[in-house]
Amino acid sequence: MMPANLVGTAVALGLFVLAGGAYGVLYTASVARSSILLERASYLCYVSQLLIALAVCLVSPLGLLWKLFIATSALAYGFIPPVTWRLLEKMHHQHAQ
């Protein structure tokens, strides 16, 4: 891997993680505040993450297994905030009773 490719891939993967984190934080804030604006912002971050993953998979010189891992991770990120929120809500309601 050429140094420029290494740096470009590292930056793209950093943005991938940043977009995923922003999606999780904004999704949680949108549910907690019942905010459509925050919900839309969270989905925009998730779409950005998917596009970054697509770009990494198409352009970077990473091996096939790494590209499959990134693609699978990108899809899994979409489920994590809603599922986590539901589980925490369920645990909180059970504990309150």
| CA dist 80 → 25, 39, 83, 88 (Å) | 11, 15, 5, 12
CA 47 to chain centre: 9
Terminal-residue alpha carbon distance, the chain = 57
Q: Cβ atoms within 10 A of the Cβ of 39, count?
A: 16
Confidence of residue 94 (pLDDT cuts 50, 70, 90): confident
CA–CA separation, 48 and 65 (whole Å): 22
Q: Cβ atoms within 10 A of the Cβ of 10, count?
A: 11
Both tokens of residue 18? 């940043």
Could you read off the pLDDT of 1-26 as tens digits, one per residue?
788 889 999 999 999 999 999 999 99
Could you read off the pLDDT of 54-81 as tens digits, one per residue?
999 999 999 999 999 999 999 999 999 9
**pLDDT score recorded for residue 82:** 95
